[in-house]
Amino acid sequence: MASCSSSAASNPAPRSACSLLSVKEANSDFGGPIQAHDCNVVGDQSQGVYLPGGSHPGSMLVNVSWDKRTANTFTVAHGGHAKYIAAGGSAVPPPQYSKVTVAGIPAYWQLSPPPFTGPFNHRSISSLKSGYVVTLTSMGLDQPEVEQALSQILSRL
């Protein structure tokens, strides 16, 4: 289990997702203007939405959670100890992930099932640092762009 957790904090403080990745940084990372971002902090998590401006097609949802259960679930899922059971009681295939290292910390691209279904190419990457679980869900962005944004976020935790 330790392989998927860079560190765990006993009581992480609330953090705004948008305070961890500025619009200026997102403009640079995504290679085009970001039209707007919207942030919400609710309970033990925050979200920020980065929307494209101009002709750039990419968008991204940033979710940051400091809930101990979320960190525990992340650790169990990526440590290979989770069991997946369908509603009828039969075993279901577990989600598939591809492990990468971002800013020296393990991160996991979700390969299946996709984070969202539909006509768009949604991709999701998650990481755990200092008790915070960070998940970036992107559409129309390349892997290096998303990993650069995750790197900047992780450097602030």
- State pTM to two decimals: 0.84
Q: Which of 25, 60, 53 is nearest to 39 (CA)?
A: 60
Q: Which of 157, 119, 156 is nearest to 140 (CA)?
A: 119
Q: Which of 102, 93, 81 is nearest to 146 (CA)?
A: 102
Question: Would you list the domain boundaries of the chain?
Answer: 2-78+94-154
pLDDT in tens, 116-145: 766 667 899 999 999 999 999 998 888 998
Q: Tell me: pLDDT of 14 over 80.
A: yes
Q: CATH 3.40.50: does it fit domain 2-78+94-154?
A: no
